[in-house]
């Protein structure tokens, strides 16, 4: 009906041209019949069906919830808010407030309020005192408007849809507040039927807050209201509609534009999925998001919040630039359609004003690439040639491991884990360790086919190295039957294997430093000698605070450094 009337006034405006439409709109607003339908004591299992019916009819309602039910139906409460209904306080456990003292009243209200806030955000919630009973203590303690009713359906008593329907349609006047309970399916049935009837009679179903606003009445804390009959003032409907959103693909992500039809309304929004309030971020113009967000927005006009707009905005990342090279000539590619790549060769971070990639080019040690595509978040990559000309995207020139990794790869002690990928910060597994040790020893692994360890099957990339290390006496496994190839190697395990290996090489250990660690007691008995000897020799360093951290694990970058120093010693 509301929509029909809007159309009608638009039609009239079109017919009557420009001189009269304002007075026409006002006239139609003044003759508008308003009613607030309210539901107490819920939410319950019947409430979602009621919300479906209200939605289908474009009717708004007010729910005076009790805390015990609100806690059990948090999702329903959120849905009410999202769909533009008003939620309000009906105490936590429904006592007769006139029998309570101020602090008990306070406790009843704040316990219920907690659930209302989590669904709708911080704001003043009206109170309907249970049984409609109040006194001065209740009014003063509530610190909010008290809302009673003018049409009492007695739905809790009759539990009869026809009887409830008859009361509503017979007693409702312009400005009535109708009392129902969303605890009974008969009440839901009656309410929806009555809405159909009253809408046909020109009634608009609004929230309590909206009813008083449009009647020009400012609700005051501690005052009691039970209707807002037509005294000749009916303000125009503000569009209780949520703001709408336009999302556009732009460089660096998605541009979000929020639109509200109500002139003079202010939009507030959140991007973390929380319910927006007037304390949320104020919308001041289009903005760009560079990651996926759950956008929610409300329009606020004359202290009235609209329904909540909810929109998920998905922002993918531009594919990471890929590289191929011939010598120092680099070819860049990006899998994202429409992507543009910018690059620098002077270690500075590329921007959209850096050199645009158009064709293969001759690189310096470091090439940094920025890939952008409209509607996608930016993606960057850094490609670095080692001092020996191997190329990696995760071994930057300014790291401590740039040189040792370059050397370890060049000496063929270590390999990348994928093309151009070294994973310096990944932990070193026990299988990786013996494999590197075998390469360091230049062992002929072709004769090693299987091991006695149950967890080292024949034919894996590390089977031969484990078999070799076991046969040479460098490792005994973690037990007689297990080697634990995928486990990260601890510093003391590493020292032990290296110590046995170096002894076999007749390496002459030096005693550069004396050893007395703060965490000496944490070294396993079987590793004590190895750790001490290697530390005295200077092959392994402490970790600071005079600790040797025997149980800590080692990453691939540290392993590169260690094996390079071992190789330098034994050559």
Catalog residues that contact Ni ion under the rule CB under 5 A. 40-41, 130
C-alpha 517/C-alpha 545 separation (Å) is: 9
Shortest reach from residue 300's CB to Ni ion, in Å: 30
Compute φ and ψ for 59, nearest 5 degrees.
-100, 140
- The residue nearest Ni ion at its CB is 40
Query: CB 181 → Ni ion: shortest distance, Å?
Result: 7
Looking at beta carbons only, is 40 or 204 nearer to Ni ion? 40
Q: Which is nearer to Ni ion, 53 or 130 (CB)?
A: 130
- Residue 41 vs 537, nearer CB to Ni ion: 41
- For the CB of residue 80, give the shortest distance to Ni ion in the complex, in Å: 17
- The whole-angstrom separation of Cα 420 and Cα 265 is 54
CA distance 346 to 339: 22
Q: Which is nearer to Ni ion, 130 or 145 (CB)?
A: 130
CA distance 258 to 297: 8
**Does residue 410 have an active-site annotation?**
no
Catalytic residue among 73, 90, 181, 325: 181
Query: Which among 408, 331, 409, 405 has a CA at the least distance from the CA of 363?
Result: 331
Q: Which string of b and e fits 81-109 if b means at least 16 CB within 10 Å?
A: bbbbbbbbbbbbebbebeebeeeebeebb
DSSP string, 400-443: TTHHHHHHHHHTTS---SBTTB--TTSBPBHHHHHHHHHHHTT-
Percentages helix, strand, coil for the chain, rounded to the nearest 5? 35, 20, 45
Task: DSSP letter for 349, please.
Answer: P
Closest CB 83 distance from Ni ion, rounded Å: 22
Integer angstrom CA distances of residue 485 from 208, 278, 352, 370, 445:
69, 58, 46, 38, 17
β pairing state of 281-282 and 293-301: unpaired
Angle value at C-alpha 401, between 399 and 404, nearest 5 degrees: 145
Is the Cβ of residue 130 or residue 175 nearer to Ni ion in the bound state?
A: 130
Strand partners, 52: none
Of 430, 508, 441, which is closest to residue 476 (Cα–Cα)? 430
Which residue in 40, 41, 155, 537 is the catalytic one? Answer: 40
**Minimal distance in Å, beta carbon 144 to Ni ion?**
17
Residue 179 or residue 549: which is nearer to Ni ion going by CB? 179
Instruction: Give least dist CB 187 to Ni ion, A.
Output: 12
Query: In whole angstroms, how close is the CB of 224 to Ni ion at the nearest point?
Result: 16
CA distance 524 to 117: 56
181 tagged catalytic: yes
Cβ-based nearer residue to Ni ion, 40 or 174: 40
Cα dihedral across residues 122, 128, 133, 135: positive or negative: positive
Give catalytic residue positions: 40, 181
């Amino acid at each position: 009906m509301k929509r029909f009337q809007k159309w009608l006034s638009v039609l009239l405006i079109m017919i009557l041209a420009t001189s009269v439409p304002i007075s026409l709109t006002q006239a139609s607003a003044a003759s508008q019949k308003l009613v607030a339908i309210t539901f107490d004591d819920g939410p319950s299992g019947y409430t979602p069906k009621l919300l479906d019916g209200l939605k289908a009819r474009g009717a708004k309602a007010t729910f005076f919830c009790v805390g015990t039910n609100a806690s059990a139906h948090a999702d329903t409460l959120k849905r009410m808010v999202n769909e533009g209904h008003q939620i309000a306080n009906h105490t936590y456990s429904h006592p007769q407030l006139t029998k309570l003292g101020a602090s008990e009243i306070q406790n009843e209200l704040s316990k219920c309020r907690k659930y209302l806030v989590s669904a709708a955000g911080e704001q003043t919630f009206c109170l309907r005192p249970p049984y409609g009973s109040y006194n001065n203590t209740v009014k003063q303690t509530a610190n909010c408007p008290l809302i009673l009713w003018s049409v009492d359906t007695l739905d809790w008593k009759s539990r009869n849809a026809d009887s409830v329907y008859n009361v509503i349609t017979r007693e409702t006047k312009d400005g009535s507040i109708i009392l129902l309970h969303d605890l009974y399916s008969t009440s839901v049935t009656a309410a929806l039927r009555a809405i159909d009837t009253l809408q046909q009679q020109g009634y608009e179903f609004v929230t309590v807050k909206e009813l008083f606003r449009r009647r020009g009445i400012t609700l005051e804390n501690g005052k009691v209201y039970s209707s807002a009959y037509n005294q000749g003032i009916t303000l125009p409907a503000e569009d209780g509609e949520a703001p709408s959103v336009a999302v556009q693909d732009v460089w660096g992500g998605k541009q979000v534009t929020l639109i509200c039809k109500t002139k003079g309304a202010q939009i507030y929004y959140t991007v973390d999925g929380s319910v927006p309030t007037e304390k949320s971020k104020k919308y001041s113009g289009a903005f760009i998001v560079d990651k996926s967000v759950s956008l929610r927005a409300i329009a606020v006009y004359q202290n009235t919040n609209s329904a909540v707009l909810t929109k998920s905005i998905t922002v993918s990342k531009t594919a990471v630039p890929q590289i191929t090279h011939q010598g120092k000539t680099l070819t860049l590619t990006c899998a994202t359609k429409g992507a543009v790549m910018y690059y620098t060769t002077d270690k500075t971070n590329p921007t959209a004003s850096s050199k645009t990639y158009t064709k293969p080019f001759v690189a310096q040690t470091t090439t940094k690439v920025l890939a952008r595509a409209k509607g996608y978040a930016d993606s960057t990559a850094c490609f670095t040639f080692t001092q020996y000309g191997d190329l990696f995207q995760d071994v930057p020139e300014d790291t401590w491991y740039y040189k040792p990794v370059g050397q370890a790869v060049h000496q063929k002690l270590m390999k990348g884990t994928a093309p151009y990928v070294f994973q310096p910060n990944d932990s070193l597994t026990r299988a990786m360790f013996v494999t590197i040790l075998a390469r360091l020893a230049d062992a002929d692994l072709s004769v090693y086919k299987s091991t006695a360890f149950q967890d080292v099957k024949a034919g894996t990339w590390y089977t031969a190295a484990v078999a070799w290390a076991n046969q040479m006496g460098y490792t005994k496994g973690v037990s007689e039957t297990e080697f634990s190839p995928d486990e990260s190697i601890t510093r003391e395990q590493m020292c032990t294997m290296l110590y046995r290996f170096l002894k076999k090489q007749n390496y002459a250990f030096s005693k550069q430093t004396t050893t007395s660690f703060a965490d000496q007691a944490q070294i396993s008995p079987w590793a004590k000698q190895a750790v001490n000897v290697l530390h005295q020799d200077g092959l392994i360093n402490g970790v600071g605070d005079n600790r040797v951290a025997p149980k800590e694990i080692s990453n691939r970058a540290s392993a590169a450094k260690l094996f390079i120093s071992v190789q330098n010693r034994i050559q």
